[in-house]
């Protein structure tokens, strides 16, 4: 996890523009480099480093003697860089996994490069010999990337939007800053003036398609067919492989543990594999919640079962409310459910950074979208429509859960790893018949649970624990986190303001005091940038007025009387 920043064709002094690069310093607390591009005095790279692999040669932009005309600034982890080296005979000069991007590009161009990377990434690749700039982002947008391109060819690229919104430029008062689309690469011509012109934007991978890099995966061809035992076995094999490949790190590994199915499975498999490869420190797991909240109690049970070194962070209401503004600033969104869920994750990340030496943090993001874990999937009209909704959610992850998971951890210099979004695991799961993937017997994620039933990885009551939204599970059963927030916000927003909300904010107008409150804070920091959120996250097929699972009729807590 790092912070990348680059400018091409700046009219203003680069030493002034460089101040914008410091807005993402939290993403790389270990080192910073600012470098001009030879022969292009108005082009530069900025890089904030979190040292996770190759402590000695990991600074960027990466340049190697073999390709003196290539400059690479990237944020991510490429899990198959050693397999690619073996397959193509690449001669690496560093231990940095991202160096493979230079070799792949030299061998087969940008299309093959983006398609063959098994990992999470956002990168800027400059080829001065052919005067090209390339941008690319992984399938689910696990690593963030924003760009700004003016009419006269001034390009700014950054891990977070906050590093671009205050750039100075002669012809534009308010340049359009937008997220770079996941699963795409863009080709731009670099002119002698340092300005650029976009040539093409290409989608190189869809979540349903088996990725090209399967050809050099450590797990070979799986048995075909959709009989239940084969499917369950394949799910276990691919999920374990997804966790195993993400063990690549020179820094201590930890795991977020809410006590729900997803994070519990990740933690259990992670600890099992750490023992197998003789990692000689205990796995630290982290849970946050109010005293005796459902998540804390369940996480405690899981930690005891798997034998992790467990940490509990007690959330008090005042601390959560005080964090709202800094959370919205970190997130760069005003989406209601994203902000609610981010407060707990932001505070537990803060604890991890201050009180422990864990830096590489595993988490369960992506499972709800992939395995139809949201409670509203019980209301899907048909398995086919449920499958379509699952794919839509996966495509929009970069706007919601993946955005939350990245920003809340990156704000405290942690690196997130999300095995449920492994390319091969997700493409296999989405290839299964729609009927197999739907909730069964009133239980969501039925197939995933069934696949691990005989593994003894988790206690049965955790494996079959009903869905609990993170923003609700951290609170007590009697009063959920969202209602605590709403009670506080009711005192902060006047009824008259809400009545005129649509006039003040015509795009995605706030419908509640809570959403109005969040929007005010967002506009304070990112005025006029409301289009970053195309729509609010809301459940489908139900007449919901609030995104919380606790407002849906299906919701039942095991501890409710």
**Would you say residue 542 has pLDDT above 80?**
yes
Residues tagged in the binding site annotation: 97, 256, 288, 363-364
Same domain? For 250 and 332 the reply is yes
Same domain? For 336 and 442 the reply is yes
Burial of 484 (0-12, 13-18, 19+ CB in 10 A): middle
The total domain count for the chain is 2
Q: What is the pLDDT of residue 19?
A: 87
Same domain? For 236 and 198 the reply is no
- The confidence band for 14, taking pLDDT boundaries of 50, 70 and 90, is confident
Range 25-30 average pLDDT: 85
Domain-located, residue 495? no
Query: In this structure, are residues 121 and 137 in contact, taking their beta carbons and an 8 Å threshold?
Result: yes
Domain-located, residue 529? no
**Would you say residue 308 has pLDDT above 50?**
yes
Q: C-alpha distances in angstroms, 242 versus 80, 218, 422, 424?
A: 11, 10, 6, 8
Range 201-219 average pLDDT: 92
Domain-located, residue 559? no
**Would you say residue 52 has pLDDT above 90?**
no
Report the chain's mean pLDDT, rounded to a whole number.
Answer: 92
- The confidence band for 551, taking pLDDT boundaries of 50, 70 and 90, is low
Same domain? For 50 and 107 the reply is yes
Spatial separation of the C-alpha atoms in residues 339 and 288, rounded to whole Å: 16
**Would you say residue 350 has pLDDT above 90?**
yes
- The enclosing domain of 399 has a CATH number of 3.40.50.620
**Would you say residue 344 has pLDDT above 80?**
yes
| Residue partners of 189: CB distance under 8 A and separation at least 6 | 131, 132, 133, 196, 197, 199
Q: What is the pLDDT of residue 168?
A: 87
Same domain? For 158 and 237 the reply is no
What is the set of active-site residues? 2
Taking residue 503's Cβ as centre, other Cβ atoms within 10 Å add up to 8
Q: What is the pLDDT of residue 241?
A: 97
Spatial separation of the C-alpha atoms in residues 458 and 26, rounded to whole Å: 35
**Would you say residue 230 has pLDDT above 50?**
yes
**Would you say residue 354 has pLDDT above 90?**
yes
Residue whose entry in the numeric block shows the structure tokens 């700004």: 148
- The confidence band for 175, taking pLDDT boundaries of 50, 70 and 90, is confident
Domain final residue pick, 203, 237, 268: 203
Q: What is the pLDDT of residue 56?
A: 55
Pairing verdict, β 177-179 and 252-256: unpaired
Domain-located, residue 118? yes
Spatial separation of the C-alpha atoms in residues 376 and 386, rounded to whole Å: 10
The model's pLDDT over 317-327, given as tens digits with 9 standing for 90+, comes to 899 999 999 99
Spatial separation of the C-alpha atoms in residues 23 and 34, rounded to whole Å: 14
Structural domain of 370? 229-456+463-490
Residues tagged in the binding site annotation for L-glutamine: 97
Same domain? For 268 and 191 the reply is no
Domain final residue pick, 158, 186, 203: 203
Q: C-alpha distances in angstroms, 331 versus 29, 157, 274, 518?
A: 18, 17, 32, 11
Q: What is the pLDDT of residue 173?
A: 56
152 CB-side CA count, 13 A: 8
Domain-located, residue 30? yes
- The confidence band for 200, taking pLDDT boundaries of 50, 70 and 90, is very high
- The confidence band for 553, taking pLDDT boundaries of 50, 70 and 90, is low
Secondary structure of residue 389 in the 3-state scheme: helix
Same domain? For 251 and 196 the reply is no
Domain-located, residue 376? yes
Highest mean pLDDT: which range of 169-183, 363-377, 481-495:
363-377
**Helix 81-88 vs helix 99-116: crossing angle, to nearest 10:** 90
Residue 289 pairs in a beta bridge with: 314
Same domain? For 187 and 234 the reply is no
Same domain? For 376 and 444 the reply is yes
Domain-located, residue 401? yes
Q: What is the pLDDT of residue 558?
A: 40
Secondary structure of residue 35 in the 3-state scheme: strand
**Would you say residue 208 has pLDDT above 70?**
yes
Q: What is the pLDDT of residue 476?
A: 57
The model's pLDDT over 258-287, given as tens digits with 9 standing for 90+, comes to 999 999 999 999 999 999 999 999 999 999
Closest CA to 254 of 286, 277, 295: 286
Domain-located, residue 547? no
Same domain? For 283 and 383 the reply is yes
Same domain? For 163 and 120 the reply is yes
Asked which of 35-39, 274-278, 302-306 is least confident by mean pLDDT, the reply is: 35-39
Peptide bond into 120 cis (omega under 30): no
Residues tagged in the binding site annotation for ATP: 256, 288, 363-364
Burial of 242 (0-12, 13-18, 19+ CB in 10 A): buried
Q: What is the pLDDT of residue 376?
A: 95
Q: Where are the alpha helices (DSSP H) in 356-445?
A: 367-370, 383-395, 401-410, 423-431, 434-437
Q: What is the pLDDT of residue 129?
A: 96
Domain final residue pick, 490, 508, 539: 490
Phi then psi for residue 66, to 5 deg, are -65, -30
Q: What is the pLDDT of residue 163?
A: 95
The percentage of the chain sitting over the pLDDT mark of 90, rounded to a whole number, equals 79
- The enclosing domain of 44 has a CATH number of 3.60.20.10
Same domain? For 174 and 275 the reply is no
Spatial separation of the C-alpha atoms in residues 113 and 88, rounded to whole Å: 13
Q: What is the pLDDT of residue 323?
A: 97
The model's pLDDT over 379-435, given as tens digits with 9 standing for 90+, comes to 999 999 999 999 999 999 999 999 999 999 999 999 999 999 999 999 999 999 999
Q: What tokens appear for 252 in the block?
A: 């201590």
Asked which of 29-43, 71-85, 137-151, 356-370 is least confident by mean pLDDT, the reply is: 29-43
């Amino acid at each position: 996890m790092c912070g990348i920043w680059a400018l091409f064709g700046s009219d203003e002094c680069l030493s002034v523009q460089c101040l914008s690069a410091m807005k993402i310093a939290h993403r790389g607390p270990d080192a910073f480099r600012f470098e001009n591009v030879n022969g292009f005095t108005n082009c530069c790279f900025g890089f904030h480093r979190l040292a996770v692999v190759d402590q000695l040669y990991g600074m960027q932009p990466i340049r190697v003697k073999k390709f003196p005309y290539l400059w690479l600034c990237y944020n991510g982890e490429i899990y198959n860089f050693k397999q690619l080296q073996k397959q193509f005979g690449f001669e690496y000069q560093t231990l940095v996994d991202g160096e493979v991007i230079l070799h792949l590009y030299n061998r087969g161009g940008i299309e093959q490069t983006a398609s063959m990377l098994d990992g999470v990434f956002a990168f800027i690749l400059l080829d001065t010999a052919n005067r090209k700039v390339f941008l690319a982002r992984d399938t689910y947008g696990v690593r963030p990337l924003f760009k700004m391109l003016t009419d006269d060819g001034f390009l700014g690229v950054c891990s977070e939007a906050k590093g671009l919104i205050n750039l100075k430029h002669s012809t534009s008062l308010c340049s359009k800053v937008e997220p770079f689309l996941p699963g795409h690469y863009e080709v731009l011509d670099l002119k002698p003036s340092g300005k650029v012109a976009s040539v093409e934007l290409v989608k190189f991978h869809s979540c349903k398609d088996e990725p090209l890099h399967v050809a050099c995966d450590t797990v070979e061809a799986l048995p075909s067919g959709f009989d239940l035992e084969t499917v369950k076995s394949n799910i276990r094999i691919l999920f374990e492989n997804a966790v195993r490949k993400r063990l690549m790190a020179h820094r201590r590994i930890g795991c977020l543990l809410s006590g729900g199915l997803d994070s519990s499975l990740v933690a259990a498999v992670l600890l099992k594999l750490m023992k197998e490869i003789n990692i000689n420190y205990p796995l630290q797991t982290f849970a946050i919640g109010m005293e005796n909240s459902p998540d804390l109690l369940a996480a405690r049970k899981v930690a005891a079962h798997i034998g992790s070194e467990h940490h509990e962070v007690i959330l008090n209401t005042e601390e959560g409310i005080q964090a709202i503004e800094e959370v919205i600033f970190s997130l760069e969104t005003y989406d209601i459910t994203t902000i609610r869920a981010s407060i707990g994750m932001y505070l537990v990340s803060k604890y991890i950074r201050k009180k422990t030496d864990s830096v590489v943090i595993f988490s369960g993001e992506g499972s709800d979208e992939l395995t139809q874990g949201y409670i509203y999937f019980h209301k899907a009209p048909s398995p086919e429509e449920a499958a379509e909704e699952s794919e839509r959610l996966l495509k929009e992850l970069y706007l919601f859960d993946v955005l939350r998971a990245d920003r809340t951890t990156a704000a405290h210099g942690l690196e997130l790893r999300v095995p449920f979004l492994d390319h091969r695991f997700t493409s296999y799961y989405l290839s299964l018949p729609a009927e197999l993937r739907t909730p069964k017997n009133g239980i969501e994620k039925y197939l995933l649970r069934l696949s691990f039933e005989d593994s003894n990885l988790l206690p049965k009551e955790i494996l079959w624990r009903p869905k609990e939204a993170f923003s609700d599970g951290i609170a007590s059963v009697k009063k959920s986190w969202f209602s605590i927030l709403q009670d506080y916000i009711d005192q902060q927003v006047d009824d008259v303001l809400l009545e005129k909300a649509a006039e003040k904010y015509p795009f995605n107008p706030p419908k509640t005091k809570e959403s109005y409150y969040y929007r005010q804070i967002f506009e304070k920091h990112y005025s006029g940038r409301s289009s970053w959120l195309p729509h609010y996250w809301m459940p489908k097929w139900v007449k919901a007025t609030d995104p919380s699972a606790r407002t849906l009729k299906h919701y039942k807590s095991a501890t409710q009387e």
